[in-house]
Amino acid sequence: MKTEYDLSKMSSRKNPYASKLKKPVTMRLSEDVIAYFKGMADESGVPYQSLINLYLRDCVAQHRKLSIDWPSQP
């Protein structure tokens, strides 16, 4: 392997995976939800934020919808 490489002739190009990158967001989650995923993270060795992302991705893939029944206000 060479000790030096001439990179001056290389051309740049767009990252083909840029559209698949994760977008940082701020969310407020209940403490028990975070504790649940952190516990799973400790067991599996996968970061808890990745587990939350995997769970949400599965919800998207399965087209899961929540059934929420809000109490009506008087």
For residues 19 and 59, the model is more confident at 59
CA of residue 15 relative to chain centroid, distance? 19
The string of pLDDT tens digits covering residues 22-49 is 888 999 999 999 999 999 999 999 999 9
| Owning domain of residue 53 | 29-63
- Give Cβ neighbours of residue 12 (< 8 Å, ≥ 6 apart): none
Contact predicate 51/40, CB 8 Å: yes
Confidence class of residue 9 from pLDDT cuts 50, 70 and 90? confident
Tokens of 54: 């995997």
Tell me, yes or no, whether 58 lies in a domain.
Answer: yes
**Does residue 51 lie within any of the structural domains?**
yes
Task: Check residue 20 and give its pLDDT.
Answer: 76
In a domain, 46, yes or no: yes
Is 43 inside a domain boundary? yes
Q: Is residue 45, in this structure, part of any structural domain at all? A: yes
Contact 42, 53 (CB under 8 A): no
47 located within any domain: yes
In a domain? residue 33? yes
Number of domains in the chain: 1
pTM: 0.65
